[in-house]
Amino acid sequence: MAAAAPVLSTEQPAEKTSLPPSARKTVFRRGVPIALGVLIRIAPTPAGLSANAWHYFALFAAVIAALIAEPLPGAAVGLIGVAIATISMLVGMERE
């Protein structure tokens, strides 16, 4: 008895596709507020503003963008913004 010939598969290998639409939407919703905050923060501080005020504005803009994009419920976004402001010492005791 002869050995069976190997069967050639007619299936095409799965093409690499981009992320599904729901995943792209999630990446967009989470990425845009973070990117906006980082871009504003690394931008040069405008004349007439302290560095602390500029960093606080960057956080404020990122929180507003997150409230619009809604990657999390609004209350969570606000709480995270307050926590980041406190941890990074943008608010609190007077600096000398």
Write down the domain spans for the chain. Answer: 22-87
Average pLDDT (61-87) is: 94
Cβ–Cβ under 8 Å, residues 61 and 53: no
Predicted TM-score (pTM) of this structure: 0.72
Q: What pLDDT is stored for residue 79 in this prediction?
A: 96
Best CA proximity match to 70, nearest among 42, 28, 41: 28
Listed in sequence order, the DSSP H helices in the chain are 21-42, 51-69, 74-87
Q: Hey, what long-range contacts does 64-70 have (CB within 8 A, 24 or more apart)?
A: 65/32, 65/33, 65/36, 65/37, 66/33, 69/28, 69/29, 69/30, 69/32, 69/33, 70/29
Checking if the pLDDT of 96 tops 60, the result is no
Residue 47: band (very low, low, confident or very high) from pLDDT cuts 50, 70, 90: very high
Angle at 37 between CA 52 and CA 20, to 5 degrees: 165
